[in-house]
Amino acid sequence: VRGARRLRAVPPCCPAAAVSQVTVRDALNQALDEELERDERVFLLGEEVAQYDGAYKISRGLWKKYGDKRVIDTPISEMGFTGIAVGAAMAGLRPVCEFMTFNFSMQAIDQVVNSAAKTCYMSAGSIAVPIVFRGPNGASAGVAAQHSQCFAAWYGHCPGLKVVSPWSSEDAKGLLKASIRDDNPVVMLENELLYGVPFEMSEQAQSKDFVVPIGKAKIEREGTHVTLVSHSRPVGHCLEAAAVLAKEGVECEVINLRTIRPMDIETVEASVVKTNRLVTVEGGWPQFGVGAEICARIMEGSAFNYLDAPAVRVTGADVPMPYAKILEDNCIPQVKDIIFAVKKSLNI
């Protein structure tokens, strides 16, 4: 058309065309929708997951789309509906069992550990239990002591379970899809404070075939001076600390663990060999924690010979979570705590 302005075409490889912002909530919803559609054996059950669209709106729209047999509201009885889910898995279905918070999974820990985790071993491999236990884990905001535990170390302790702990939207979608497809019981520990956070997701990550392999960590930032290993929300704190320290000439390598069990210790070892220093960061309590396990595995392996300083742990405070905000903030690892730990490791 004469006089029309010529517009520059956006190349197909342009990041603006291939990458979009997706919240963790929407990524989880996509994963559930795609897996419910892909496999008729998959179903979701839990408190308020159906008609209310989920306590955190993770299951938004799924009940209307798939109906009562695939998205099931349960009574407020974790012991009851978890037992139903485990039995359904033994019978050949693939349930996704949502806990409104993993603190409530303690009501069903017999079903999770004694029934789901141990049955394959005790039946000599003849009975599989393909089930996903998922929901928010760790500290939220202003919910006090009985709603703030991190269960990564609790469930990571138990043979027979796989345990995943996503940080980004890509982690959340890919790990949930991989967990649903896995023939073993998987505990998926999400974080309530991340649900509304948007992350960049590539076109590939938004495809129906995208999965994140269970048992494989991801290097979120390359570095040469110190290795930071974390999972879930503290990964973001590590990246913030790394950005601050970079201005002071300290380059941190940030590893997003993604899977607690089986642990990708090989990626951590390779990083420690390169940087010669290790700092672990987690929201859980210090004693017998995820960081303690990482430090022990490094000490027992060949990477120990490359350490130029003792490994340092950054953890939650060794107390039940207080309700008061100022006390709560001091119980949860902050960016300043990570920076202090890195400088301690570097003796600066």
Q: Residue 111 gets which letter from DSSP?
A: I
pLDDT tier for residue 5 given thresholds of 50, 70 and 90: very low
Tens-digit pLDDT profile for residues 58-81: 999 999 999 999 999 999 999 999
Element (H, E) at 328: helix 325-331
DSSP states along 151-191 = -HHHHHTSTT-EEE---SHHHHHHHHHHHHH-SS-EEEEE-
DSSP code, position 304? G
Ramachandran angles phi, psi of 239, nearest 5°: -65, -40
pLDDT of residue 14: 44
Q: What is the pLDDT of residue 6?
A: 35
Residue 57's pLDDT is: 97
User: Residues of the chain with pLDDT > 90: what percent?
Assistant: 94
At 3, the pLDDT band (50, 70, 90 cuts) reads very low
Task: Report the topology of domain 218-346.
Answer: Rossmann fold (3.40.50)
Interaxial angle between packed helices 24-38 and 169-181, expressed in degrees from 0 to 180 and rounded to the nearest 10 = 20
pLDDT band at 19 (very low <50, low <70, confident <90, very high): confident
Give CATH 3.40.50.920 domain extents, the chain. 218-346
pLDDT at site 18: 75
- Looking at residues 165-184, what average pLDDT do you find? 98
* Range(s) within the chain of domains with CATH label 3.40.50.970: 23-206
- Give the model confidence (pLDDT) of 214-241 as tens digits: 999 999 999 999 999 999 999 999 999 9
Which residue is it, tokens 């998205």? 71
Residues 267, 96: Cα–Cα separation, whole Å: 30
Which of these is catalytic: 78, 190, 220, 253? 78
- 101 band by pLDDT with thresholds 50, 70 and 90: very high
Is 78 a known active-site residue?
Answer: yes
Average pLDDT rounded to a whole number, residues 166-192: 98
Confidence (pLDDT) at 9 = 40
pLDDT tens by residue, 285-339: 999 999 999 999 999 999 999 999 999 999 999 999 999 999 999 999 999 999 9
Of 12-26, 131-145, 186-200, 302-316, where does mean pLDDT reach its minimum?
A: 12-26
Helices (H) and strands (E) in the chain, counts: 13, 14
Q: Residue 4: is its pLDDT beyond 70?
A: no
Angle CA 235–238–244, to nearest 5: 150
pTM, full prediction:
0.92
Closest of 179, 165, 157, 159 to residue 117, by C-alpha: 159
Which residue is catalytic, options 35, 47, 147, 269? 147
| pLDDT tens digits along 238-280 | 999 999 999 999 999 999 999 999 999 999 999 999 999 999 9
Around 271, how many Cα atoms within 13 Å sit in the side-chain half-sphere? 30
Q: Measured between alpha carbons, how far is 294 from 102 in angstroms, rounded to an integer? A: 23
Superfamily of domain 23-206, CATH level 4 = Thiamin diphosphate (ThDP)-binding fold, Pyr/PP domains (3.40.50.970)
Residue of 16, 25, 61 lying closest to 176 (CA atoms): 25
